[in-house]
Structure 1
Amino acid sequence: MVSRLKKAFIKSESGIDILKFKIKEKLKLNNPVFIYPYRGFGTSELVHLHGRILEKEDIIHEPSDLPDTTWTNLKKVWKRYESDEVPGVEVKGLLYGVEASAVSDDEGYFTLRFTNLDPTKLTNGWHTVDLKITDMPFDIEFIETATAEVVISDQQKKFGIISDIDDTIIQSDILKPLKMISNVLFKNAKKRIPFEGVQELYKRLSCNYLHPLLFVSGSSYNLFDMLTNFCEHHGIPKAPFIMRDLGFGPDQWLKQDSQEYKKQSIELILNIFPNLNFVLIGDSGEKDPEIYLDIHECYPGRVMAIYIRHVHSDLRRNEIDERVKGLDIPFLLMQSSQEAIDHAAKVGWI
């Protein structure tokens, strides 16, 4: 009975989204629709690119010279979560002559997967993908083309890096709900604070993108613009963000278990880079140690080291210390980024 009610609610949610969009279409209240690509990643064998079809909100999707006030920040937060997605839109991507296409789902998301690319063109680092809307099922104004970015690894280097975000690179105070909410509502990307040494740690580990860096976050894609701006402002290397859809479906942010989501996302990365091993970086605030240890157990030989920023209690530290006794890979429960830098330098990774 509960399952049927949940399915009915999800179906109702999707129906309401589409109805809202059709009403706006009828009344000519739509902003121009555009392709909002997230950063992709892959190899010459497979490139994965995720994106969304949305109504454009200049305050979010364009550079803005609005004053940095509480009102501006609140308006940005509202616009991020009040996004107007467009379902049923066909998108085509072109990467060095290889095409891929997809249709946006009820939440406006699409995923392009490019296969069998020319390895001589896909050197380590960033490349661009040309995107185009090839079928728009609504009579609305839209921006036909866009450009996406994908980071490529030839898997000949030592390793890649998979990192959490909240309380790992950015001070989010997840364990203090009121402070966490205040951070989201009243602080923009420039005012959010990174942990000391994060810039140097990630720059040296990624080695100018020779070692691919990927962020896996339990947050939703609604925060993508804020996080990319945060990293750019604070000198943290550019990287793809694998995040979640905000919704009530079984694979969405409000329903899906965070541990399950993170494990699936890391497995996606491991499968796309089958010949690359990884350093995993997270924090002790939630379940990163357990997730990373589970990955190490399920994929032996693929995890080179686990770095965990300790942001919790002594009891949590003791719990983690007990869990990693006898572990056959380096596990660092660190108070500062410098500890990870020192370890990586000692073993010759940087």
Structure 2
Amino acid sequence: MKKIIKKTESKIDLIQYEVKEKFGLFDKVIIYPYRGYGNQNRAVIHGRILEKEPIIHEENDLPDSFWTNLKKTWKRYESDEIPGVSLKGELYGYEAHCTSDNEGYFFMEFNDLESTSLVNGWHEVKLEITDMPFDLEYDSTATGEILICEQQNPFGVISDVDDTIIVSDAMHSIKRIITMISNDAPSRTPFEGVSELYHKLIHHNKNPLFFVSGSSYNLYDMLISFCNHHDIPKAPFILRDLGIDKDQWIRQDSEPYKVSNIEKIFEMYPRLEFILIGDSGQHDPEIYFKIYKKYPDRIKAIYIRHVHTEERRNEVLSLSKQVDVPFLLMDNSQMAIDHAKENGWIY
């Protein structure tokens, strides 16, 4: 059934491209890079080739109103991707090449890096379209960013997003949809103390931070703006794709997706331990427990924000007794700050 729907979707997309191309209905196409990450020898970055939506992809002074946010939400999920686009990337003279897939996503990997410029912090990547398979107007270049960690410090941080740093009502589908439509980045609510906690943990990018979330890449711009607005440290967002693919049905399952991407981060930074931060609302405790069982020497601590029922609290507390590393069920960010200070991880 998946193959039939996938094949049908591809045919519909092809017809759509041909019709829009014939009648000049395409908006300008852009490279939309997501933040990447790497070490001193290897780095990865990915993104998407999309039609440009000014309300999403440009700075604007539109009011944070219901109707503006409704339009933004619609445009985020109604995005028009461009497949088969060839790209070149350059990082301090090193080149990499790739092609966008059927959903417009591209993945670029730089290997055998020996640049002394790759120190802790953010580094620019020049991206360029080298072949466009459709007769479209497009911006041929864009600049991406990669977070480099030298692994000289003791740990990194991997965090969830919904109900971990941002109040999302993830357990209540209707509330979550209303919140998403009614509020954009400035009016979304962070949990108190999140900015202080994460800034102290990463210590000026010496300890890398990664957001691995079940949220969709369609919300990427909002999440970036949210963190900027609320002074939450800059970090790569590793999110999920919405769509139909050979490995997914509408969207990837949360647990295997999160486990897989946490393992990729572990592979990139084999000398680091990690503090895992999530919430009790969904499956973060079980996912992090699974990671701990497989990589007990890579987990420094687990912090879970309690956002659910007392029954769920007891479940998480029971799980915490099965690990030999600090496992904190926190009611607020200050509890995590105090715990990290007590252990000498922050100052």
Structures share fold, TM-score greater than 0.5: yes
Structure 1: segments with no counterpart, 5+ residues: none
What letter matches 1:70 in structure 2?
Answer: F
* Contact 1:158-1:277 within 8 A present in 2 as well: yes
4+ residue runs over 6 A deviation: none
What letter matches 1:223 in structure 2?
Answer: L
| Alignment RMSD (CA, Å) | 1.1
What letter matches 1:9 in structure 2?
Answer: I
* Contact 1:219-1:253 within 8 A present in 2 as well: no
Deviation per CA, 1:143-175: give whole Å up to 9, x if none: 000000110000111111000000000000011
What letter matches 1:281 in structure 2?
Answer: I
Following superposition, the deviation at residue 324 of structure 1 comes to 2.1
- 1:8-27 correspondence runs (5 A): 8-27=4-23
1:221 counterpart (194, 212, 217):
217
- Name 1:113's counterpart in structure 2: 109
- Name 2:91's counterpart in structure 1: 95
| TM-score (ref. length: structure 2) | 0.98
Task: State how far apart, in whole Å, the 1-side matches of 2:146 and 2:311 are.
Answer: 41
- Name 2:75's counterpart in structure 1: 79
- Name 1:70's counterpart in structure 2: 66
* Contact 1:201-1:340 within 8 A present in 2 as well: yes
Q: Does 1:274 align with 2:274?
A: no
Task: Tell me the secondary structure at the aligned position of residue 137 of structure 1.
Answer: coil
What letter matches 1:76 in structure 2?
Answer: K
Task: State how far apart, in whole Å, the 2-side matches of 1:171 and 1:152 are.
Answer: 29
| TM-score (ref. length: structure 1) | 0.97
Task: State how far apart, in whole Å, the 1-side matches of 2:246 and 2:252 are.
Answer: 5
Task: State how far apart, in whole Å, the 2-side matches of 1:333 and 1:209 are.
Answer: 26
- Name 1:193's counterpart in structure 2: 189
Following superposition, the deviation at residue 210 of structure 1 comes to 0.9
What letter matches 2:116 in structure 1?
Answer: T
* Contact 2:185-2:225 within 8 A present in 1 as well: yes
1:139 counterpart (130, 135, 138):
135
Q: Does 1:161 align with 2:177?
A: no
Following superposition, the deviation at residue 252 of structure 1 comes to 4.1
- Name 1:28's counterpart in structure 2: 24
Q: Does 1:247 align with 2:239?
A: no
Q: Does 1:341 align with 2:337?
A: yes
Percent identity over paired residues: 58
Following superposition, the deviation at residue 264 of structure 1 comes to 0.7
Task: Tell me the secondary structure at the aligned position of residue 266 of structure 1.
Answer: helix
What letter matches 1:314 in structure 2?
Answer: E
Q: Does 1:308 align with 2:304?
A: yes
Tell me the number of residue pairs that the alignment of Structure 1 and Structure 2 aligns: 346
* Contact 1:221-1:245 within 8 A present in 2 as well: yes
Cα gap change, 1:70 to 1:253, in 2 (>3 Å): farther
Task: State how far apart, in whole Å, the 2-side matches of 1:193 and 1:15 are.
Answer: 41
Task: Tell me the secondary structure at the aligned position of residue 143 of structure 2.
Answer: strand
What letter matches 2:59 in structure 1?
Answer: P
Following superposition, the deviation at residue 256 of structure 1 comes to 2.4
Following superposition, the deviation at residue 250 of structure 1 comes to 4.5
Structure 2: segments with no counterpart, 5+ residues: none
What letter matches 2:229 in structure 1?
Answer: H
What letter matches 1:58 in structure 2?
Answer: P
* Contact 2:64-2:183 within 8 A present in 1 as well: no
Task: State how far apart, in whole Å, the 1-side matches of 2:15 and 2:141 are.
Answer: 26
1:126 counterpart (122, 127, 147):
122
Cα gap change, 1:342 to 1:115, in 2 (>3 Å): same
What letter matches 2:253 in structure 1?
Answer: D
1:205 counterpart (169, 180, 201):
201
What letter matches 1:62 in structure 2?
Answer: E
Cα gap change, 1:252 to 1:38, in 2 (>3 Å): farther
Task: State how far apart, in whole Å, the 1-side matches of 2:113 and 2:15 are.
Answer: 40
* Contact 2:167-2:191 within 8 A present in 1 as well: yes
What letter matches 1:327 in structure 2?
Answer: V
Deviation per CA, 1:217-248: give whole Å up to 9, x if none: 10110000000000000000000000111112
Task: State how far apart, in whole Å, the 2-side matches of 1:326 and 1:138 are.
Answer: 56
What letter matches 1:156 in structure 2?
Answer: Q
Following superposition, the deviation at residue 29 of structure 1 comes to 0.6
Q: Does 1:320 align with 2:313?
A: no
1:260 counterpart (231, 250, 256):
256
